[in-house]
Amino acid sequence: MSQDGDVKVLKVTLIIGAVISFVYGFGFLFVPGLLVSLSGTNPVEFGWLRWSGGVIIALGIGCLMVSSKPEKQGIFVTSMALANLFAGLGMLYSWIMQEYSGATWFIALPTCLLLVLSGLLWWGRGQAKGIL
């Protein structure tokens, strides 16, 4: 497989990760009340959600930057794969242990997205190891 083919999975996964990050990040940063009402849980102080929106948006920007030039960016890719894995496992644990009392789809969707994205990042990392 050519070098371009080796990094294709990684580049596409990083772009998908960026899109997901922007959707959730802008939601948490600008309309946290809407997300809370969609979740069906008790209202919370929005300040606790807004800061995470900024962090998520920054990670999305990082994904876009690395997708355009992934050479020697193995640390970022590994960090993102681990972040998605740990976040997904944390949400899965909360879901299984019934710590979450809101709408099921509101925890199921991000849990699945995070775990699938982590798997794709690990796969893309393995495929592109020659340039990372």
Q: What is the reported pLDDT for 111?
A: 98
What pTM did the predictor assign?
0.89
Q: What is the reported pLDDT for 2?
A: 53
Q: What is the reported pLDDT for 30?
A: 95
> Cβ neighbours of residue 95 under 8 Å, at least 6 residues apart?
107, 108, 111
Q: What is the reported pLDDT for 113?
A: 98
- Under-70 pLDDT residues of the chain: 1-4
Contact 107, 91 (CB under 8 A): yes
Q: What is the reported pLDDT for 42?
A: 77
Q: Nearest Cα to 108, choosing from 92, 121, 119?
A: 92
